Amino acid sequence: MKSRITAAALVVLFPVATQAASGLSGTWTSPGGGQTFVFKVHGDWFTGLVCGPCDDPASVFKIEEGRMVDGDKLAFTINYDVGGPDFKRVGPYRDRVSATLAGSQLSVAAQHEGGRGTAVTTVLRRVVDSYVGINPESVVATVPSLSRDVKKAAPIEGKWVAAGRNAQQNFILKVRDNRIWGLVCGPCTPDGVFLIDDGTFDGTNLTFYINHLDTPASARKSGITRNIMRGALSGNVMKFKWVREGAEDQPGGEMTLIGPIR
């Protein structure tokens, strides 16, 4: 049976308990590690991404319209706006996904929006089994993106590589309506993928946040930490200064990215 996620049934949405919501937040992987899912919960709704391989911009897609449903049920869409398993055949499309959460397992069923094609099911496993979740109320709430429009690629869209590192670190940046999202990985295994969100780009200057949800595994089992990245684009180089959110008065660091490699 195929393990790649391609969509799901539309369901009626209801409020859900905080415990169930916090159990979703973090990183999940499909059998064999073929795909990585990162969920970030905001109260009774969530955002995130799916990737695989995660260092390829053409294999990174946004999770939208995420809602906790009844008890352990949830639903979301995957927006295949610039690629995906069926993109060459049908163009931009979306999958609707329904799922059931049970501890460190997430059973998902997916189907093309509109009921097209055959539903695909698989079971995702949490990357950090001992993770006990976060308090969704502690996460900064942002408005989820519902845009379905295909936009011309921004000059920063694609794969960027951090310069001067012994081990390669990849930044996959995507831009919709001047809003940045994406991921950081390196190595690009499920336990090394971090969600980028809440970013802005004005043509030269850019800011975005790197989320640390459940990976890497830590004795600190609650809450969320984010690094704030502020930089500027000059040709094929972006130079950043970063600090930890909530600790802006403390020393951070600098980073240079080279790209994009599309």
Q: For residue range 107-151, what is the model confidence (pLDDT) as tens digits?
A: 999 999 987 778 899 999 999 876 665 554 444 444 444 344 445
Cα–Cα distance for residue pair 1/122, rounded to 1 Å:
9
Give yes or no for residue 76 having a pLDDT over 60.
Answer: yes
Provide CB contacts within 8 A for 75, sequence distance 6+. 8, 10, 11, 13, 65, 66, 67, 69, 96, 97, 98, 99
Q: State the pLDDT at residue 13.
A: 37
Q: What's the rounded Cα separation, in Å, for the pair 176 and 150?
A: 9
Most confident of 1-5, 81-85, 91-95, 207-211: 207-211
Cα–Cα distance measured from residue 192 to residue 216, given in angstroms and rounded to the nearest whole number: 7
Residue 83: pLDDT band with limits 50, 70, 90: confident
- Alpha carbon distance 121, 79 (integer Å): 18
Q: From start to end of the chain, where are the E strands?
A: 26-29, 36-42, 45-51, 60-68, 73-80, 93-102, 105-112, 120-126, 158-162, 170-176, 179-185, 193-201, 205-212, 225-234, 237-244, 253-261
How far apart CA 141 and CA 133 sit, in angstroms, is 17
What per-residue confidence (pLDDT) applies to 91? 86
| Mean pLDDT along residues 53-82 | 93
Which residue segments constitute the domains of the chain, with CATH numbers given? 18-138 (2.40.128.30), 158-261 (2.40.128)
In angstroms, the CA 168 to CA 205 distance is: 24
Listed residue (57, 58, 74, 76) closest to 66, CA to CA:
76
Per cent of the chain over pLDDT 70 is: 80
Exposure pattern of 208-233 as b/e (b: 16+ CB <10 Å)?
bbbbbbbbeeeeeeeebebbbbebeb
State how far the Cα of 236 lies from the Cα of 161, in Å rounded to an integer.
Answer: 11
Q: What is the mean pLDDT of the chain?
A: 83
99-114 average pLDDT score: 93
Among 42-46, 103-107, 138-142, 256-260, where is mean pLDDT lowest?
Answer: 138-142
